[in-house]
Structure 1
Amino acid sequence: MDISTLCIHGADNNTHNTGAVSVPIYQSATFAHLDVGKSTGYDYSRLQNPTREYLEKVMANLEQGTDALAFSTGMAAITALMELFSIGDHIIASGDLYGGTVRLFEHISRKNGLKFDYINTSDLDAVRGLIHPDTKAIYIESPTNPMMQVTDITAVCEIAKTFGLLVIVDNTFLTPYYQQPLVLGADIVVHSGTKYLSGHNDTLAGFLVTKNEDLSERLRFIYKTTGACLSPFDSWLLIRGIKTLAVRMDRQQENAVKLANWLTTQKKVNKVFYIGLPDHPDYAVSTKQASGFGSMISFEVDSETTAIQLLERLQLVLFAESLGGVETLITYPMLQTHADVPMEERLERGINDCLLRLSVGLENADDLIADFEQALN
């Protein structure tokens, strides 16, 4: 079945017998038992809820996994993921990560005894050079946030397999519609469901997806114990959002290609970081492992003054800290997504006061270009 069809009919809707096309919202915290030792399969919504269960089956099918866990936020998903590891365990991570993930690793996970090294995971020799006996996992964002670096996931998985390491891939930017890391060899896929999967900037959610039964069992135990499960209503919002994922991603990518190419022609724009541009250094890797480029663009303007001018003058494009919704959003990473990353580290990664990140939405592309033109000039 084509993935665009899976987005709409991603799991069997056998939670009811009413004929309702839309999956019901089971707004219940607890479920009555039929008798002693007899259960409907549901006990308490922290463990499982019929609405969330349907959503999780959809996500598992989209990623070609066997289990998916839906969390209250993307960060809740990553926080639970870190509970797989023990004091002294070492994790290699992409050097250009979402600032919230860095904040978790550096201020919570390190406190709990985990160790991290950050590297451009597209440099395979550098990845190999960081592996030592305490290394347990390689954590990848691809493309990275916000510098749009792409890692060869299959190549990293081959290295990891040699050393018995887990490979974890944050697939938020491309979604399973364009990229399926489990198929490429990864063990766990992470999503901020808040972004493209929801698609409407109206709810928070996170996912962990795997096809490994042992990992599924361990993650389910952590899940029910720590309790950051997605509510029934938010699960329904994600189910609804995913139904239009394919058409949204295609239109947003179409807009992003037009806008990225236009930005490359502007005198006040020094660099454009978009993996769909043929001159992007990771373009070949992208075309090998993904079926699309997505709609995330970062670009560097000629001065801080120009950056501020853009943020203040844009009218259609909204200055906001998120991505993946139907509205086009522009973000200033140094003040928003990466504000908690030390300045020296930010600058080393290219996150300076001239860098802006753009999540391209569903508006008419010519209207977006016209908005940028008036703001720049």
Structure 2
Amino acid sequence: MPAALPIREDLSAGELRALARRENKGRVAARMFAIAHALDGVSRAEAARLAGMDRQALRDAVVRYNAEGVAGLYDRPLPGRPEWLSEGEQATLKAIILAGPDPKRHGCVEWTLPILCEVIAERFAKTLHPASLSRIVRRLNLSKQKTRPRHPQSDAKAQAAFKKGLPEVLTSAAAAYPERRLQLWFQDEARIGQKGRTAHRWWERGQRPAGLCDKRFTSAYLYAAVCPASGADFALVMPTVSTTAMSLFLDGFSRSLGPDVHAVLVLDQAGWHGARALVVPDNITLVPLPPYSPELNPVERVWLHLRERFLSHRLLDDYDAVVQACCDAWNALTATPERLRSLTSYPWLPCVNA
């Protein structure tokens, strides 16, 4: 009969039994007790019987314990059924999903699970049910999301250059006004009116909820400036957009700033933002965004939040009601500056906040 395998002795029998009593996995605890019995000098056959296992199972446990310590006594995860799509096929599938469909070839402008199943059958000669594909897609860290609008004439290179060049603009402004604290602000206007919109709401499955949506056209314009770093804000409701209205807004914004503050105000290239007749106070420097680049302006997210949370499903009787709704919505939002910071703190902004 072959000699019994020696057992490592970095843990005593008593220490192993103490670990076994605290272990909530029965199979692991049994292996610890069996090895503890063997360390006490009990024969391997008797140690295995006392722990409720056969001698070969004890021998396997000793081999793993000698090699890995206590960690070797835990069950190894089972390999399970192999993936239906290989890693390479899953990577290709993810690239196909992110690239989007060809409307002429696939007959759709966005992927659906059944159409993707057809693409997989054609590309990989493998069949999948849409429910199974849904699990694969989620494991690829993909989810169905509402797209962010992008103007067809937007220039990605110009947008990248703007992000890269904004720190230099701030440096120049700081050098021009060394006695003042520099703050980075963003400004935009939104038309708010009777012509409403619907928003998401909780409802019973299988039914589409009704939402109140006015079709009249009385409106006002909400001018707003936001400082992403601090969550500070300034807003005015105006009856129209014009150079005169913009001058009034800049005058009020200028007077709201501290006496030692100079604001770098980023805004789009609307005509009234760059008109020669526009009056720009001395404590404000205007910085235009690249053309067709609203996605670079954090205030755009503020408008979406206001419409989703406060300005949808409303019936506003007249212009005064529109103005009051604008004021109530803005005051409700700015009551918590943390919310405003969360909405406007784009990932690329912290590196340029003054």
Greater relative contact order: 1 or 2 (C-alpha under 8 angstroms, separation 6 or more)? 1
TM-score, reference length from structure 1: 0.21
TM-score of the aligned structures, taking structure 2 as reference length = 0.22
Higher helix share: 2
Structure number with larger C-alpha Rg: 2
